[in-house]
Structure formats: C-alpha cells, structure tokens
Amino acid sequence: MTQRLHLVFGGELVSPDKTTFKDVSQIHIVGMYPDYASAHSAWKAEAQRTVDNAHMRYFIAHIHRLRDEEQAASSTEELG
C-alpha cells in the first residue's frame, strides 16, 4: 500500500491575497499525517482557531508527491 504523507503548516502572511509568510521563523508546524482526511481535519481546526486574523493561513502540503518528482500525480492522488 502506498503511503501518502501530508504536512499541515501555517502562519501569518504579508498580505491576505498572497502566500508569502511575514516571518518564516514563526511558521507553525501542526504535524505530519498519514492521509488527507486526517490532515484536512487538523488544517480545519487550525484555520477555525485563527479565523479572526485575516493574515493567518494554513496549508496542506502533499509530501508524498515530493518523493518522486518525475512521476505525474494521478487523478486519485488529486482527490486525496
């Protein structure tokens, strides 16, 4: 079975319409998750916790895609 790792992280952005972090040293690493569903749950909790700050943004990085950059992602991987 293929392992599909996901990293959830976030922090304060320079501007709400960009994805540039204000201070990279202050990036909040939420954690690494074995599947998209658990990563999405963690992402949602952090996003809701910081909803009052328009500059805070959390992301899900598909770490499993970094293992082989030469291999194209399948449509199944796109769905999680």
| CATH code assigned at 45 | 3.30.70.2400
Residues spanned by the domain of 59: 6-72
Residue 62 lies in a domain: yes
Q: How far apart are CA 61 and CA 67, in angstroms?
A: 12
C-beta atoms surrounding 10 within 10 Å: 19
Domain count for the chain = 1
Q: How far apart are CA 31 and CA 53, in angstroms?
A: 21
Residue 19 lies in a domain: yes
pLDDT per residue rounded down to tens, the chain (80 residues):
677 899 999 999 999 999 999 999 999 999 999 999 999 999 999 999 999 999 999 999 998 777 655 666 555 454 44
Residue 21 lies in a domain: yes
pTM: 0.77
